[in-house]
């Protein structure tokens, strides 16, 4: 079985976790969330977090991929789904940008419960960019 995943942070092409986790995934295109979400950088590791507060913040840009069961499991593990402080994987509405498919579709995304965010280092982002990624500290390296 395969799954659609919308990524907005370190899993995007060329960003710090892409090479290790997404190379086997099929890139489908760029897109945005349909609803607004707060995108923040959290804590000493500057982790990008889409807060689970739809309606606040901005429409957020990202990339849509198709992954298989194993790929989804590896992503859940990276994002600590089901573990304390981890993300929750939720199906959200996304819209592809550019030609092709203007219609909204549902894809999984990793959302962060707001109570798991200790210190907000930047907030209200609409795109996670290189200048944010250079501050990112991988898990287990501190
Ligand atoms: N990785 C996931 C969630 C946040 C992060 O850095 C992503 O890129 O969508």
Fold classification of 2-133 is Hypothetical upf0131 protein ytfp (3.10.490)
- What residues in the chain have per-residue pLDDT under 70? 99-102, 142
CA distance 50 to 72: 18
Question: How remote is the CA of residue 83 from the centroid of ligand 1, in Å?
Answer: 16
Q: Tokens representing 30?
A: 């760029």
pLDDT score at 130: 96
What's the pTM?
A: 0.95
Q: Give the nearest ligand 1 atom to 16 CA.
A: 6
pLDDT score at 104: 87
Region class of 100: left (phi > 0), else alpha (psi between -120 and 50), else beta? left
- Residue whose token pair is 């990008």: 48
Q: Which residues are catalytic?
A: 79
In the chain, where the domains are located: 2-133
pLDDT score at 98: 75
Which residue's C-alpha comes closest to atom 4 of ligand 1?
Answer: 9
Ligand 1: residues within 6 Å at CB? 7-12, 48, 79, 110
């Amino acid at each position: 079985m395969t799954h659609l995943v919308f990524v907005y942070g370190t899993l995007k092409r060329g960003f710090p976790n892409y090479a290790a986790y997404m190379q086997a995934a099929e890139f489908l295109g760029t897109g945005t969330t349909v609803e607004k979400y707060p995108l923040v950088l959290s804590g000493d590791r500057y982790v990008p977090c889409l807060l689970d507060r739809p309606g606040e913040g901005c429409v957020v840009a990202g990339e849509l991929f198709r992954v298989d069961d194993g790929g989804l499991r590896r992503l859940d593990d990276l994002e600590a789904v089901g573990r304390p402080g981890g993300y929750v994987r939720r199906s959200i509405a996304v819209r592809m940008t550019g030609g092709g498919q203007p219609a909204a579709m549902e894809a999984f995304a990793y959302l962060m419960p707001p109570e798991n965010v200790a210190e907000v280092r930047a907030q209200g982002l609409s795109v996670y960019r290189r200048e944010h990624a250079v501050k990112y500290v991988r898990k287990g390296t501190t």
